[in-house]
């Protein structure tokens, strides 16, 4: 029972931290050291709009992860469109199916979206 409680606790903590990433500004802020900033499609603005957060490693400075489906992409090129690349590699990501901004969602819509997100991992 102790192991299950620890696993549940870790899952809840992870979900709570990712919940803050529904906010565009929080996602955008993760791209402070993003290598593509001008004259390209994969700017920090476009990356954050497509649901990505920047999670670089020492060897891969351009790793981005969708906060919603947790799909990681790397090897970005200046002409890569974040939304297109995301949809090609994660066809069932609920974030991409949104028709309005997350700050326009009602509490009910947000809860339904969060339930959908959790179900994608089980």
Return the bridge partners of 73, or none.
64
* Cα–Cα distance for residue pair 108/67, rounded to 1 Å: 20
pLDDT at 82: 98
Who has greater pLDDT, 101 or 14?
A: 101
Condensed to tens digits (0 to 9), the pLDDT of residues 92-108 reads 898 998 888 888 888 88
Return the bridge partners of 38, or none.
none
Strand pairing report for 52-54 and 72-73? unpaired
pLDDT at 113: 86
Return the bridge partners of 65, or none.
53, 72
Spell out the domains of the chain, with CATH numbers in brackets.
Answer: 2-119 (1.10.1170.10)
> If you compute the radius of gyration of the chain from its CA atoms, what whole number of angstroms results?
15
Q: Torsion-angle region of residue 24: left (phi > 0), alpha (psi -120 to 50) or beta?
A: alpha
Q: How many of the other CB atoms lie within 10 Å of CB of 13? A: 10
Condensed to tens digits (0 to 9), the pLDDT of residues 51-98 reads 999 999 889 999 999 999 989 999 999 999 999 999 999 988 989 988
* Cα–Cα distance for residue pair 3/73, rounded to 1 Å: 32
Tokens of 94: 């609920």
Tokens of 19: 């919940």
* Cα–Cα distance for residue pair 39/78, rounded to 1 Å: 8
């Amino acid at each position: 029972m102790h192991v299950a409680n620890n696993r549940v606790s870790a899952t809840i903590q992870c979900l709570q931290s990712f919940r803050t990433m529904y906010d565009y500004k929080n996602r955008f802020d993760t791209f402070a050291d993003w290598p593509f900033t001008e004259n390209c499609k994969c700017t920090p603005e476009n990356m954050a709009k497509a649901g990505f957060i920047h999670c670089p490693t020492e060897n891969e400075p351009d790793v981005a992860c969708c906060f919603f489906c947790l799909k990681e992409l790397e090897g970005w090129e200046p002409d890569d469109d974040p939304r297109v690349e995301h949809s090609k590699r994660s066809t069932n990501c609920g974030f991409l199916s949104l028709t309005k901004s997350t700050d326009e969602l009602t509490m009910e819509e947000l809860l339904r979206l969060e339930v959908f997100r959790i179900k994608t991992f089980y």
